[in-house]
């Protein structure tokens, strides 16, 4: 990144720090920031079942890397890039380096470069577009939002979590300043920053990971409250934020040692500032079991108000059953599984849904949506982590209580993957599965085979 771009980034950083926007405390300039990732961190994507002769494959990246296009599509994109560069040269010659029309041209150029996989070039163009917008329309102009959103995508694509974090918070700051915290337009802004904090936690980025989960819960709660206030709980976005609360609550319950750091004054103060900005009354120390159970029950209530029994209602009931099973409330889980299984008799394609939901062991949790977000990570910065990925096929039994037994690794163990396979084995042994359901009752299944992808 050039000198001008670094100056702009530092100015954003200073602005955000002065406003107390950061979820993380005591952040220094980008060049001095040390990305803290747990050295033993192993990220495991949700596994895919191996059934019969079908070879499971994980979804491909949504971001194109340079060289993946060929033929007319590649030629057209490269021609468009050249046209935008020529157009910008003409604008600069006529109106100077800060011609307001340059912002749109630079943003379009950045998007094309991003689609081509040229993320470093895209970052240069998008940062300049943001700067031109700020010079011409003011520091807090909403005109810069599309460029900032695209910039974040490129930073995430190369795994630069530091800069992604910076601009996620900047995006939140600009829009909250424009809309305020009670305007319905702030709802997707709150949800986006909450999801980023969960993602940052999952990749281990941040000085204090517990702050990530505290921030996520505050933001998801604020977004849900705003949806209820302006549109009611029957709005689909209410469910989305309840799912977010449940996902963050599950991470809280699995990492209680990280919550202790929130008692330190500097982190407590930053979280209290965020809570006050959002007009929230929830505690800054995030809840685990209780918060998740309440959120999943509210999703059930959302779908139960419809006149007919829907697949969404059945899945919501099953998700609460999963929650109970994860916390060893096995009788309560079985009751809900049985209820959901029988409700499928009243649903169109109910037998097909039964097979999908209960025909085999299912890895938990399922209420957190697509957990394989690292599909987007390509052309990573070698300094960032995780930087490598591997695959492994495992076989194991699943008991009626969802516990893993008799685990064996089918993939050949080598000197290169031995450490990762040992860590993967430890994680899978403690994981929980929704057991297969037959006639409304959980049953044991032996020899389940799953393919795992891991990042380290």
What is the spatial distance between Cα 233 and Cα 41, in angstroms, rounded to a whole number?
Answer: 38
Whose tokens are 């103060």? That residue is 269
The 10s digit of each residue's pLDDT in 284-310 is 888 899 999 999 999 999 999 988 999
Range from 58-62, 64-68, 186-190, 320-324 carrying the lowest mean pLDDT: 64-68
Amino acid 33: pLDDT: 34
- Dist CA 333 CA 329 (whole Å): 6
Which is nearest to 212 in space by CA: 184, 244, 236, 188? 244
pLDDT at 380 over 80: no
Average pLDDT for residues 275-281, to the nearest whole number? Answer: 89
Q: How far is CA 117 from the centre of its chain?
A: 21
Report the candidate in 5, 354, 13, 301 with the shortest Cα–Cα distance to residue 147. 5
Judged by average pLDDT, the poorest of 107-121, 164-178, 213-227, 344-358 is: 107-121
* 427 is a domain residue: yes
Question: In this structure, is residue 114 part of a structural domain?
Answer: no
Confidence of residue 98 (pLDDT cuts 50, 70, 90): confident
pTM of the model: 0.82
Residue 381 CB neighbours (<10 A) = 16
**Backbone phi, then psi, for 396, in 5-degree steps?**
-165, 165
Number of domains comprising the chain: 1
pLDDT at 124: 92
- d(Cα 384, Cα 325) in Å, to the nearest integer? 35
Under DSSP, the state recorded for 45 is P
Angle between helices 330-343 and 350-358 (to 10 degrees): 150
DSSP structural state of residue 344: G
* CATH number for 422: 3.30.2420.10
Mean pLDDT, rounded, for 347-353 = 91
Among 6-10, 49-53, 217-221, 379-383, where is mean pLDDT lowest?
Answer: 379-383
**Which secondary structure element, helix H or strand E, spans residue 228, and what is its range?**
helix 209-230
pLDDT for res 7: 44
Looking at residue 432, what DSSP letter applies? B
Q: Considering the domain boundaries, does residue 402 fall inside one? A: yes
Identify the weakest region by mean pLDDT among 103-117, 409-423, 436-450. Answer: 103-117
Give the 3-state secondary structure of residue 267: helix
Q: What is the mean pLDDT of residues 234-262?
A: 91
DSSP assignment of 71-86, as one string? HHHHHHHHHHHHHHHH
440-447: which pairs have CB atoms within 8 A and are 24 or more residues apart?
A: 440/337, 440/338, 440/341, 440/342, 441/334, 441/338, 442/334, 442/337, 442/400, 442/401, 442/402, 443/400, 444/397, 444/398, 444/399, 444/400, 445/360, 445/361, 445/397, 445/398, 446/397, 446/406, 447/395, 447/397
Mean pLDDT for 248-268 is 86
Do 302 and 239 form a contact (C-beta atoms < 8 A)?
Answer: yes
Q: Residue 356's pLDDT band (boundaries 50, 70, 90)?
A: very high
- CB under 8 Å to 139, separation ≥6 — which residues? 15
Q: pLDDT class for 90, splitting at 50, 70, 90?
A: low
**Residues 316/300, Cβ–Cβ less than 8 Å:** yes
Residues of the domain holding 412: 373-455
Give the span between the Cα atoms of 377 and 161, in whole angstroms: 11
Region 6-10 average pLDDT: 45
Average pLDDT score, the chain: 82
CA separation for the pair 214, 224 (Å, rounded): 16
In tens, the pLDDT along 124-183 reads: 999 999 999 999 999 899 999 999 999 999 998 888 999 999 999 999 999 999 999 999
Q: Which has the higher per-residue pLDDT, 327 or 36?
A: 327
Q: Indicate the range of 9-23, 113-127, 203-217 predicted with least confidence.
A: 9-23
Summarised one tens digit per residue, pLDDT across range 434-454 is: 999 999 999 999 999 999 988
Whether the per-residue pLDDT at 34 is higher than 80: the answer is no
Q: What is the mean pLDDT of residues 407-435?
A: 93
More confidently predicted of 234 and 84: 234
Task: Give the E-state strand segments of 114-249 in sequence order.
Answer: none
Higher pLDDT, 216 or 14: 216
**Strands 362-363 and 433-434: what pairing?**
antiparallel
Residue 322 within any structural domain of the chain: no
3-state secondary structure of 452: strand
- Please count the other Cβ atoms lying within 10 Å of the Cβ belonging to residue 400: 15
């Amino acid at each position: 990144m050039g000198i001008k771009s670094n100056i702009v980034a530092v100015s954003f950083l200073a602005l955000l720090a002065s406003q107390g926007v950061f979820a993380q405390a005591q952040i220094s300039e980008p060049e001095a920031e040390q990305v803290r990732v747990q050295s033993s961190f192993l990220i495991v994507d949700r596994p895919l079942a191996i059934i019969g002769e079908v070879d499971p494959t994980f979804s491909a990246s949504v971001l194109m890397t340079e060289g993946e296009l060929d033929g007319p599509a590649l030629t057209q994109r490269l021609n468009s890039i050249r046209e935008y560069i020529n157009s910008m040269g003409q604008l600069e010659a006529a109106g100077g380096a800060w011609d307001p029309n340059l912002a749109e041209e630079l943003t379009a150029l950045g998007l094309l470069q991003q689609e081509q996989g040229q993320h470093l070039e895209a970052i240069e163009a998008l940062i300049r577009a943001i700067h031109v917008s700020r010079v011409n329309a003011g520091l807090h102009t909403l005109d810069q939002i599309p460029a900032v959103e695209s910039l974040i995508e490129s930073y995430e694509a190369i795994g630069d979590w530091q800069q992604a974090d910076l601009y996620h918070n900047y995006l939140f700051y600009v829009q909250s300043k424009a809309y305020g915290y009670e305007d319905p337009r702030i709802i997707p802004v709150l949800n986006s920053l909450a999801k980023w904090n969960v993602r940052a936690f999952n990749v281990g980025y941040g000085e204090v990971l517990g702050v990530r989960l505290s921030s996520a819960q505050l933001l998801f709660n604020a977004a849900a409250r705003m949806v209820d206030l302006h549109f009611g709980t029957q709005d689909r976005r209410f469910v989305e934020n309840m799912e977010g609360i449940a996902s963050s609550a599950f991470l809280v319950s699995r990492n209680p040692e990280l919550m202790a750091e929130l008692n330190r004054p500097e982190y407590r103060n930053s979280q209290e500032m965020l809570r006050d900005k959002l007009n929230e009354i929830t505690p800054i120390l995030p809840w685990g079991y209780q918060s998740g159970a309440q959120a999943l029950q509210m999703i059930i209530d959302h779908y139960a108000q419809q006149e007919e029994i829907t697949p969404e209602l059945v899945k919501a009931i099953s998700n609460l059953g999963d929650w109970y099973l994860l916390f060893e409330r096995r009788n309560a889980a079985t009751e809900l599984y049985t209820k959901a299984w029988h409700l499928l008799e009243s649903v169109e394609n109910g037998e097909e849904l039964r097979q999908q939901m209960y025909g085999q062991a299912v890895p938990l949790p399922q209420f957190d949506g697509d957990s394989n977000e690292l599909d987007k990570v390509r052309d990573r910065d070698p300094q960032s982590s995780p930087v490598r990925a591997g695959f492994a096929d495992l076989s194991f039994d699943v008991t009626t209580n969802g516990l893993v037994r008799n685990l064996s690794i089918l993939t050949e163990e080598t000197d290169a993957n031995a450490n990762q396979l040992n860590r993967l084995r430890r994680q899978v042994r403690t994981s929980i599965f929704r057991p297969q359901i037959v006639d409304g009752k959980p049953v044991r299944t032996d020899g389940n085979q799953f393919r795992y992808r891991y990042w380290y």
